[in-house]
């Protein structure tokens, strides 16, 4: 009786008077491309049941093999030493990838199992050091997306990586003692700069050589600032400066010593801190502050150390400080309602450029600030949108950084009960209106300035209220007091319809002030430059006189800079004159009350700016007319 499976396995059953719990597994190992038999292939049957022996056979000239197996479960493996044939696993189902289990039945049987192997490729080369000296015992590794293999160089520095599947491989070489800088092919010390090598079937790729550079090292000690006690388990990171940063990591031992080896020559920025996972918010006590060498808390203040080939840089020590903590609550005044998602922002007084990590309150209004160096701090906040009606303050109810109370932190101490009690401020709403229905405001530049007019001991600060595209503006959480509202608009062609322009309001905390509107109409503007010769009056001695022919009015403007803009002008004809300031002209120049140096007639058009109206002082003083 014969039975066949989809895997090409044949079972031949023989009826015997006494069952024999054994089987013969025979077959042929062939090349998947040519179909020819492969001699000297090793076929192994690896037993999976306890106490069951494994078996092994070697193929003959035609690639044939024979295995005698007892009852049980096996995995069949095949490989061809000293060749590029890829080792494979086969099983009862014939699945080459999964390596299925082959079951030997309880009766005497004969199983035919043919195995086809695929030819891969190989990579070979040499590894050398300085002056072309061969390097032995160097680990060479080939890595692709699904395959990784390594080998070691011989006494002559040569290596061979056989039986590689087709694909692209990154090749690297390095020594375990880190006396040499690990390298990627070709001539790269960073994985990002490596270039993959293409491996093809039946191809022996040679000449993939490496030249390793002597490595440098950095060593030092990690100790506490107070008592100079050694610290164990502190992670030290050396980050190489350059276009492709390379980091090396080491940890301090029980004596606080660390050593960073295998470093390529160059400049490194060093930092020391607790390992990842040990410096998170879950810790119960203040830990050690991360630090940059030497004794800095921000990377920008670190001093890089230079590493040279084959040399060890010693005594690069760290003395660590314990962090400080600040905890407290943010609630409303009176009913003490907890305020969630309020950002609490610490700002050191004497550590320029250092910005500690901010935190936010939880559902109970509580917050915890960690990772703070000892010193003086101010404590501010940033309210989420749903709490914007409340007055945003600094510690102890101050309204500006200049007036904020300082908090003094001692090393390793936790300062508790730093609480905020917030009150509701006033809300101000209004609109900047214009007679042109299609006009759109520039929300990125147009603002209304809110300025405090009366004295506030808590330190109220001026604020810029952004104007929306529809002209609306609003501000919440305004402390009580007397304020002025002044539009600061980017369009120089706008003319205010109300004079004086600032609007003064008295604010009571908790109130809502609406319809704080401003009205404008569309006019024009004049802009240009003023040029004065070196021997003529300077800009601070000049004025521009603007005469409106339609309204028969005149205005005088000082010249603060070489560029000027006369904004908010009604459409019509104007006369411009550049003259000397009567009170600023030096009497030694012999000018009269005022001298006119240049003039222009200008037409102002509604909604447009008349530009490039340039004025200059060119003629001698004796040729100028008086004005």
The pLDDT tens digits for 15-39 are 334 454 678 899 999 999 999 999 9
Tokens standing for 590?
A: 């012999």
Distance CA 209, CA 173 (A): 10
**Mean pLDDT of all residues in 441-470:** 92
Q: How confident is the model at residue 29, as a pLDDT?
A: 94
Q: Which is more confident, 241 or 268? A: 268
- Single pTM value for the model: 0.63
Residue range 235-249: average pLDDT? 82
- Are 433 and 442 spatial neighbours (Cβ–Cβ below 8 Å)? no
Q: Is pLDDT at 271 greater than 50 in this prediction?
A: yes
Burial class (CB in 10 A: 0-12, 13-18, 19+), 334: exposed
Rounded distance between C-alpha atoms, residue 322 and residue 199, angstroms: 54
Alpha-carbon distance of 465 to 419, in angstroms, equals 29
User: What pLDDT score does 592 carry?
Assistant: 52
CA distance linking residue 203 with residue 159, whole number of Å: 16
Question: Is the pLDDT at 330 greater than 80, yes or no?
Answer: yes
Neighbouring C-beta atoms of residue 454, cutoff 10 Å: 10
Mean pLDDT (the chain) is: 87
Residue with tokens 């609480």: 419
Q: Is the pLDDT of residue 99 over 90?
A: no
Is the pLDDT at 8 greater than 50? The verdict is: no
DSSP-based three-state secondary structure for 135? coil
Of the candidate ranges 273-277, 381-385, 507-511, the one whose mean pLDDT is the lowest: 273-277
Q: What is the pLDDT of residue 549?
A: 87
Listed range (238-252, 268-282, 464-478, 577-591) with the worst mean pLDDT: 577-591
Mean pLDDT of 118-127: 94
Mean of pLDDT values over 70-97: 79
Residues 6+ apart with CB under 8 A from 372: 323, 324, 325, 326, 346, 348, 356, 409
CA-nearest of 582, 576, 577, 612 to 597 is 577
State yes or no: pLDDT of 539 exceeds 90. no
In angstroms, the CA 395 to CA 355 distance is: 18
Q: Distance between CA atoms of 151 and 147, rounded to whole angstroms?
A: 14
Query: What does the pLDDT look like over 202-211, one tens digit per residue?
Result: 999 999 999 9
Tell me: pLDDT of 93 over 50: no
CB 426, CB 510: distance < 8 Å: yes
Secondary structure (3-state) at 300: helix
Examine the pLDDT at 91 and tell me if it is beyond 80: no
Instruction: List, for residues 570-602, the tens digit of each pLDDT value.
Output: 999 999 999 988 765 545 554 457 788 899 999
Helix (H) or strand (E) holding 536: none
Chain centroid to CA 34: how far?
Answer: 54
Contacts of 136 (CB under 8 A, 6+ apart): 152, 153, 154, 155, 156, 157
Percent of all residues in the chain with a pLDDT value above 70, rounded to a whole number: 89
Rounded Cα distance, 371 and 409, in Å: 12
Q: How confident is the model at residue 298 (pLDDT cuts 50, 70, 90)?
A: confident
How far, in Å, are 71, 292, 302, 392, 395 from residue 350 at the CA level?
80, 17, 17, 24, 18
Q: Looking at residue 103, what is its pLDDT?
A: 85
Q: What is the pLDDT of residues 128-183, one digit of tens each?
A: 998 899 999 999 999 998 889 999 999 999 999 999 999 999 999 999 888 999 99
Q: Does residue 624 have a pLDDT over 90?
A: no
Q: Which two tokens stand for residue 82?
A: 């000293």
What's the pLDDT band for 281 if we cut at 50, 70, 90? low
Q: Of 291, 296, 323, whose CA–CA distance to 411 is shortest? A: 323
Q: What is the pLDDT of residue 356?
A: 87
Distance between CA atoms of 487 and 358, rounded to whole angstroms? Answer: 34
Query: What one-character-per-residue DSSP string does 98-129 give?
Result: TTPPEEE-SS-EEEE--EEE-B-EEEEEEEE-
Residue 619 is predicted with a pLDDT of: 57
Residue 10: the pLDDT is 35
In this predicted structure, the answer to whether residue 79 has a pLDDT above a threshold of 70 is: yes
Residue 288 in tokens: 């050690």
Residue count (the chain): 627
Residue 361 CB contacts under 8 Å (≥ 6 apart), including other chains: 329, 330, 338, 339, 340, 341, 342, 344, 367
**pLDDT of 245:** 62
Domains of the chain, start order: 2-117 (2.60.130.10), 121-211 (2.60.40.1120), 216-320 (2.60.40.10), 325-422 (2.60.40.10), 426-522 (2.60.40.10), 524-626 (2.60.40.1120)
pLDDT band per the 50, 70, 90 thresholds, residue 506: very high
pLDDT higher than 90, residue 221: yes
Q: Average pLDDT in the 175-199 region?
A: 89
């Amino acid at each position: 009786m014969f039975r066949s499976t989809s895997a090409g396995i044949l079972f031949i059953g023989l009826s015997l008077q006494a069952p024999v719990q054994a089987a013969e597994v025979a077959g042929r190992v062939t090349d998947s491309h040519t179909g020819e038999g492969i001699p000297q292939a090793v076929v192994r049957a690896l037993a999976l049941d306890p106490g069951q022996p494994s078996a092994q056979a070697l193929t003959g000239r035609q690639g044939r093999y024979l295995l005698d197996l007892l009852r049980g479960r096996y995995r069949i493996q095949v490989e061809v030493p000293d060749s590029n044939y890829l080792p494979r696993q086969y099983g009862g189902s014939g699945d080459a990838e999964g390596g299925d289990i082959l079951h030997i039945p309880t009766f005497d049987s004969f199983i035919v199992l043919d195995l086809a192997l695929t030819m891969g490729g190989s990579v070979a080369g040499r590894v050398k050091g300085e002056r072309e000296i061969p390097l032995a015992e160097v680990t060479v590794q080939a890595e692709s997306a699904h395959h990784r293999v390594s080998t070691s160089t011989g006494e002559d520095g040569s290596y061979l990586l056989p039986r590689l599947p087709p694909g692209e491989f990154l090749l690297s070489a390095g020594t375990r003692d880190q006396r040499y800088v690990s390298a990627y092919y070709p001539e790269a010390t960073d994985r990002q700069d490596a270039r993959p090598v293409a491996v093809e079937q039946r191809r022996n790729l040679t000449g993939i050589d490496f030249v390793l550079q002597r490595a440098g090292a950095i060593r030092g000690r990690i100790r506490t600032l107070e008592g100079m006690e050694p610290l164990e388990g502190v992670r030290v990171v050396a980050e190489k400066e350059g276009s492709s940063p390379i980091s090396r990591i080491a940890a301090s031992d029980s004596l606080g010593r660390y050593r960073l080896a295998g470093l390529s020559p160059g400049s490194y920025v060093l930092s020391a801190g607790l390992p990842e996972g040990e410096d998170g918010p879950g810790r119960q006590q203040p830990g050690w502050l991360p630090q940059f060498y030497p004794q800095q808390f921000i990377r920008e203040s670190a001093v890089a150390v230079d590493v040279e080939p084959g040399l060890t840089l010693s005594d690069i020590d760290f003395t660590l400080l314990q962090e400080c903590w600040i905890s407290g609550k943010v609630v409303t005044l009176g009913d003490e309602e907890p305020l969630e998602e309020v950002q609490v922002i610490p700002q050191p007084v004497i550590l320029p450029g250092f910005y500690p990590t901010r935190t936010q309150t939880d559902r109970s209004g509580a917050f915890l600030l960690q990772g703070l160096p000892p010193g003086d701090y101010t404590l501010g906040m940033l309210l989420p949108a749903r709490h914007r009606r409340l007055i945003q303050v600094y510690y102890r109810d101050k309204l500006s950084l200049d007036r904020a109370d300082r908090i003094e932190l001692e090393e390793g101490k936790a300062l508790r009960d730093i609480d905020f009690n917030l009150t509701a401020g006033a809300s101000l709403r209004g609109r900047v209106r214009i007679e042109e229905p299609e006009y759109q405001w520039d929300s990125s530049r147009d603002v209304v300035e809110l300025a405090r007019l009366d004295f506030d001991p808590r330190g109220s600060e001026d604020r810029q209220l952004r104007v929306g595209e529809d002209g609306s503006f609003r501000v919440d959480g305004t402390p009580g007091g007397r304020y002025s509202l002044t539009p600061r608009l980017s369009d120089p062609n706008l003319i205010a319809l109300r004079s004086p322009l600032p609007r003064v309001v008295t604010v009571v905390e908790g109130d809502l002030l609406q319809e704080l509107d401003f009205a404008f109409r569309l006019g024009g503007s004049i802009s240009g430059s003023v040029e004065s010769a070196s021997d003529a009056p300077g800009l601070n001695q000049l004025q521009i006189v603007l005469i409106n022919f339609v309204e028969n009015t005149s205005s005088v403007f000082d010249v603060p800079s070489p560029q000027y803009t006369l904004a908010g002008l009604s459409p019509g004809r104007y006369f411009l004159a550049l003259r000397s300031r009567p009170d600023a002209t030096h009497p030694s120049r012999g000018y009269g009350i005022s001298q006119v140096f240049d003039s222009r007639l200008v037409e102002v058009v509604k909604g447009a700016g008349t530009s490039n109206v340039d004025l200059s002082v060119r003629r001698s003083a004796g040729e100028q007319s008086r004005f």
